[in-house]
Amino acid sequence: MSKGELSSFDAGHAGPVADDLAFDQEDWDTYYDDIHGTALRSDLVQAARQEELTWIKQEKIYSKVPLRQCKQRTGKQPLDTRWIDHNKGDDKRPNYRSRMVVREIKARKKLAEQLPGSQLFSATPLVETFFLLASLMMSIRVSTRGKPLKLGFWDISRAHFMEETTRELYIRIPEEDRDPNDAEEMCGILLRTMYGTQAASNLFQRGYVELLTNHGYVFGKASFATFFKQSADSRGLVHGDDFAVLADDDGLKEIDQLLNSKYTAKWLATVGSEPGDDKEALFLNRVVRHWPADEHGEDRLEIEADSRHAQRIIADLGLQNAKSVDTPAVKRTAAEVEATKREPVVAQKVQTLFRSNTMRGAYLSIDRPDLGDAVKALATAMKTPKESDMQRLRRFGRYLVGVPNLMRVFYKQKLPQGVTMYGDSDWAGDLLSRKSTSGIACMHGRHLVTAKCNLQSVTSLSSCEAEFYAAVKALAHALFIRSVLVDWGLEGSLIDLLTDSSSAKCFIERRGLGKNRHIQTKWLWIQERMAAQDFILKKVGTDKNIADLMTKALSGSVIRKHLASMNVRLCLVESTKQRTVL
C-alpha cells in the first residue's frame, strides 16, 4: 500500500470520495408512480414516454422555436414541463401511461396575467348523477324506438391535447426531444392545449359541448356535465375525459361516431342485457356489473366501490390478520372525550398515517353509507390526532376487514313517479363542539342514489331545530336530483320528503319563525316550497328512517337492516375488473 492511500478496510468505512458514485447506478433508472408513489419498471416507463412523445410530434402539439423568441415576446423563461408516470392497472395487469405536462401555476402570475374564472371552469358531475343514470337503465329499460337501453362507456385519449390554444405559451421541451445539433437553445410554442395549462379543461369542455350541441344534444342546467337528445332517447354525462351514455344500440353508435369525428375515443364497454353485451365494465374506478334474472335473484345492475382503498387502509394499519368487528365506530362517552383533551398529539409520522387513511375512508364513504358517520367523526381530529383517535381509526380498519366491499344493487323496476328523500339528525351528537349531524338518503324507487352526512354549521338549541336543518338539506338535494331528471327529459318528478320528527314537520308546514326566533330567515325557503306544494312532507318511524344510519354510531344489526332497505349488499363475487393495491 503506497503512502497516502487507504487500506481496503478504511476505504470501506470512510465514505465516498470524488471518484465514487454517490448512488448505485441502478438508482438513476428508478421511476415512481406519481399517483401511488410505488416503484415502476423502467423499461415500461421509457416505452410509455416514447409513445407519448411520438404522438405529440405526430399531432404537432408544439413547434420548436429559439429560446430567444420566448424571452423577446414574453420577457420570461418558458413554462416548465415534466413527466407524469402512472400505472393505471396493477402489478398483474400493468397499464403504464406517461403524460408530458406543463407547469402553469396561478400563484406565480401577476393579478393582471391571471385568467378569469370563466376560462378556467369545467363542469364535473356529482357521483349521484351516475347512480341515477344506472337507476334509469333499470327503470326505463326500453328506448322510444323499442330497443333495450344499455350503458356505454368511452375514454377520450389525450383529451387536453385536442383543442387549439387561444394564448401564446412557450414551454421547455423535454430532454428526449432535444437535438444536440441545434445551433442555439430551443423551446416550444404551443399550437394546442396541453395538460397543465390552466385553460385546457375549459377548452376541452367547449369543444365537446359544441360538437354534441351541433348534433341536437342539449346540456343540462342543473349539471352542465349531463346531456340529453330526445329524438335518440339518449342520456349521458361527462366526467373529465370519460363519457357514460344510456341509450339503445343506435344511440350508442351515434355517440361513438360523433366522438371519433373529433377525438380519439375508445369505446370501453357496453353493459346491457343482450347476449353480446359486456357483463362488467369499469367506470370511475367502480365496477359496473349486470346480472340477468336467474335462480339466484332478479334482473339487476350492480355498482361495486373501488376496493383498493379498503385494502390500503387495512395494510397501512397492519390489520391483515386482525379480528374483525361488527361496527365501524362506537359512541363515545363524555368522560372519554374529556380524557382525549389531555392526551398529547401523536408523532408527525403517525399524524400523516391518520390523515391519509381518514381521507381514504372519506372516499369510500361516497359509495358506502355504513362508513359516513364514522369517517365524519374521524375527520374532526384531522388537525391534531391523539392516540385515542388512532384507536378509533384502527377499529374502523378492523370493520373493513370483515366488510371489505359493498355494492349498490339496482333491481329491475317500473319508472318511479319521483324520488323519496329521507332526512335525520343526531342532536348535539358531537360532544366536543355540541353540534348536530345531518344525514340524508335519496331513493329512486328501490335504488339508492345518495347517502351522505355532515356536521351542521350552526349549534342547534333543540332537537326540532336540528331535524329542521336536516330536512332543509335533504330537500335541497332532492331538488337537485329532480332538476337532473328534468335535464334528462323526465318532467313532473315528485318529491316525498320523510322525517321522523313531528316537531320539525309542524315547523315546516307553517309560515314564519314562531318561537324559534333565533333561526336565520335564510332557512325558511323550505316553508315557501311547502306552501307552493312543491313537495310532499311525510312522517316516518325512526326504525324505518334509513338516514339514521348516517347520523350516529349504531349496532351491527341496525346497520345491516338499513343497508338491506337501501339494497346495498356485501360483494361476494370477485370481479375480473377490480384492481388490487399496487
**CA distances to 328, 361, 513, 541, 564 from 526, in Å:** 34, 32, 12, 22, 30
User: In whole angstroms, what is the distance from residue 154 CA to residue 176 CA?
Assistant: 31
**Beta-bridge partner residues of 154:** 243, 267
> Is the CB of residue 499 less than 8 Å from the CB of residue 470?
yes
Asked if residue 436 lies in contact with residue 552, where contact means CB atoms within 8 angstroms, the answer is no
At 114 the pLDDT is 80
- Identity of the amino acid at 574: E
pLDDT at 510: 94
Give backbone dihedrals phi and psi of 549, rounded to 5 degrees, phi first. Answer: -60, -30
Q: What is the pLDDT of residue 29?
A: 59
Number of H helices, E strands in the chain: 15, 23
What domains does the chain contain, in order, with CATH numbers? 29-119+171-190 (no CATH), 127-161+198-304 (3.30.70), 312-405 (no CATH), 416-551 (3.30.420.10)
pLDDT score for 25: 41
What is the grid cell recorded at 489? 327529459
Distance from C-alpha of 493 to C-alpha of 489, rounded to nearest angstrom: 10
pLDDT of the residue at 578: 56
Beta bridge pairs of residue 102: 81
What confidence score (pLDDT) does residue 22 get? Answer: 42
- In b/e form, how buried is each residue of 379-416, taking b as 16+ CB within 10 angstroms? bebeeebbebbbebbbbbbbbbbebbbbbbbbbebeeb
Instruction: Give helix 308-316 / helix 387-402 axis angle, nearest 10°.
Output: 130
Question: What grid cell was written down for 537?
Answer: 312532507
Grid coordinates of 182: 441545434
DSSP, collapsed to helix, strand or coil, labels residue 96 as strand
The reported pLDDT for the residue numbered 175 is 87
Could you tell me the three cell numbers for 184? Answer: 442555439
Yes or no: say if 371 and 328 are a contact pair by the CB < 8 Å rule: yes
Amino acid identity at 284: L
What pLDDT score was predicted for residue 572? 61
Measure the CA–CA gap between 574 and 289, rounded to whole angstroms.
11
Rounded distance between C-alpha atoms, residue 1 and residue 20, angstroms: 20
C-alpha cell at 334: 363524555
Angle, to 10 degrees, between the axis of helix 348-365 and the axis of helix 308-316?
A: 160
Neighbours of 319 (CB within 10 A): 18
| pLDDT score, position 435 | 95
Q: How many angstroms separate the CA atoms of 395 and 188, rounded?
A: 53
Residue 451's closest CA among 305, 288, 241, 291? Answer: 305
Pairing label, strands 286-291, 81-87: unpaired
- In sequence order, the 6+-apart residues with CB closer than 8 A to the CB of 330 are 395, 553
Which is nearest to 398 in space by CA: 482, 502, 326? 326
CB 579 within 8 A of CB 88: no
* Cα–Cα distance measured from residue 320 to residue 398, given in angstroms and rounded to the nearest whole number: 9
* CA–CA–CA angle 158, 164, 166 (5° rounding): 130
C-alpha span between 298 and 150 (Å, rounded): 17
Give the chain's length: 582
Report mean pLDDT in 10-residue bins for the chain, 582 residues: 48 45 48 84 91 91 94 92 88 87 78 80 93 98 97 94 91 90 91 91 95 97 96 97 97 98 96 94 94 80 91 95 95 92 95 96 95 96 96 97 94 96 96 94 97 94 96 97 97 94 96 91 95 96 96 96 95 57 42
Tell me the three cell numbers of residue 286: 367502480
**Among the listed residues 366, 350, 348, 346, the one whose alpha carbon sits nearest the alpha carbon of residue 316:** 350
3-state class of 184 per DSSP? Answer: coil
